[in-house]
Amino acid sequence: MNYTELAKKIVNELGGSNNIENALHCVTRLRFNLKEDSKANIKAIEQLEGVIGVQLKNGQYQVIIGQNVGKVFEEIKPLLNESSGSPSQSKKKFSLDLILDVLSGIFSPILPALVAGGMLKGIIALMSSLGAFSEGSGTLEMFNLIADVPFYFLPVLLALSSAKKFKVNSYLAVTVAGALLYPSFVNAFEADKNPFSFFGLSVPIFNYANSVFPIILGVGLLSIIYTFIDKFVPEILKMVVVPVLSLIITIPLTFLFLAPLGAYGGIGLANGIVWLFSTLGPIAGFLLGFFMPLIVIAGMHQSTSPIQIQNIASLGYDYLLPISFCHNMAESGAAFGAALRMKNKEMRAAAFSTSFSAFLGISEPALFTVNVVNRTPLIGAMVGSGIGGALTTILSVKCFAFVMPGITSLPIYANPDGTLTNILLMGLSIVAAFASACVVTFVLGLKKSKSQTEEDKSPVALEETVISPVKGKTIPLSEVKDDVFASGDMGSGFSVAPEDNNIYAPVSGTVEVFMDESKHAIGIRTKNENEILVHVGIDTVELHGKYFTSFVKQGDIVKQGDKILQVDFDKVVENGYDPTVIVVCTNAKKDVEVNIAKSPHMVVS
């Protein structure tokens, strides 16, 4: 795959670098905030090789790439000019979508550091339980230091990513984070000292190391104050006055109000999760697990990261990560079960590959390219994920550090007290999730269609599901009053006596042929390299485009069902022309069987 070319095409189809307000990526997705959504061509991006899918969620365009997302993003970064990342002219309204977008944008960039620290914590716990480190070992101290740093200084990491999201100076944001971790303040908390006074106001004492929400609120306030002050200070004084006033106002207000609010909110959220699971028990685990595939499809799974990190900071463990772990194993099991059902060697190999990817913790390739496409594996994944979620709740499985939920993260489930019971119970849960998803998928089988199985008798290597381009009565191609088409020399196909003036794309693909003057014929090349020709009327080329209105041009990418033409068939008939709409696959053999899918645009006869 040419990552440079793919990056250029993605940026271009998003309206160019000037239209990209913000760009980042998570484990499998490129995430873009655009200044003008109308400039984005989602259909074109979906057609690109290397793109699994595109979604617009929470005001953010998510281009699903899979494991190579980092390589593509590295090629995208040089394409973004300095204006990328600047605020758009239109302000987004406050909403749940905006909150989820902000949280996702803040946490995605810092995940590598948290994953590294979490993995090392798990390895240390596992090795310690096996007696690999002696008491007071210097090696153990060094490893603990490395593992603890990303979490202890989590406010600093969050300050950097929050500054980028809130469009404020990152060094000032880190200064606010440094204030929350200032030694005398931390020591006051550890010594259980009384709150100190600031201009007569009592400053609550909290330990903000490992905290999540206090610094996010603080940087948000910094952004507002900095922007406000910057409007009124003369240019010659901005360098000194704006930063000083911003910090003098932001840090005290953060200590007095926002940081305690964030701390109480985080503790309350963690306690709420504990209450939910203690009240509903396995029902809560099953429901969360069951709907987890849909949450991932919606692109909302990253928004749970703050909750997971807050739980670990407040409680020392988390209930949600084990369920996410089971979900990935269920996606892996469902794709594995689908592979066992497939007869096509290439499809089977691809399914096994995505199953292994999900096994390692990257579930999107399996979810989008196998499980969603074949439908029944998605059901298997939901059932398996639900069973795994219920089981982790029944067994009280906990996760003691934040890490990506894949088989390599299993060591983090070793209890810091040195016992291995928790890790064994987690192992049992993921086996149950994988096995149940695999069995359900295998028993249900795959949705059989001409485009998804090889049980088709057609000699074409890759089949297409073709819909009628127009509402009307279907006519066998042999009955068309044009010998070239009726003989099958132009390819296998069908024809329709139109009852409506709107012509729709019968397949998804690229417009390779377009009669610009007459507009009576459009050729579409599909992903499977099939060439589908839509020929409107017989001898209508002689009308030179009169009564024809086109909505596409050569080179356009269309999706099945898109409107491509509008024809005044009454006028066509009045001028003595046959209005029959002909659809043929020009690179198919005469004896190829054509199967027409039902669509809103046709009446099957």
Dump strand ranges (E) for 187-275.
196-198, 201-203
- Residue 501 and residue 568 in contact, taking contact as beta carbons nearer than 8 Å: yes
Q: Which residue type does 399 have?
A: C
The CA distance from 489 to 294, in Å, is 47
Strand duo 29-34 + 20-25: pairing: antiparallel
CA–chain centroid gap for 185, Å, is 40
DSSP 8-state code for residue 31? E
Question: Among this protein's residues, is 26 annotated catalytic?
Answer: yes
Distance CA 464, CA 124 (A): 53
Catalytic one of 26, 399, 438, 585: 26
Burial (0-12, 13-18, 19+ Cβ within 10 Å), 510: middle
CA neighbours closer than 13 Å in the CB half-sphere of residue 156: 12
Long-range contacts of 539-548 (CB under 8 A, 24+ apart): 539/577, 539/578, 540/572, 540/577, 541/515, 542/577, 543/518, 543/572, 543/575, 543/577, 544/517, 544/518, 545/517, 545/518, 545/519, 545/520, 546/571, 547/571, 547/572, 547/575, 548/518, 548/519, 548/520
Q: How far apart are CA 187 and CA 589, in angstroms?
A: 81
Burial (0-12, 13-18, 19+ Cβ within 10 Å), 184: exposed
Angle in degrees, CA 581, 586, 587, rounded to 5: 155
Cα separation of 109 and 466, whole Å?
Answer: 42
| The two structure tokens encoding residue 447 | 């949705």
CA distance 447 to 441: 11
How far apart CA 574 and CA 374 sit, in angstroms, is 47
Catalytic amino acids?
26
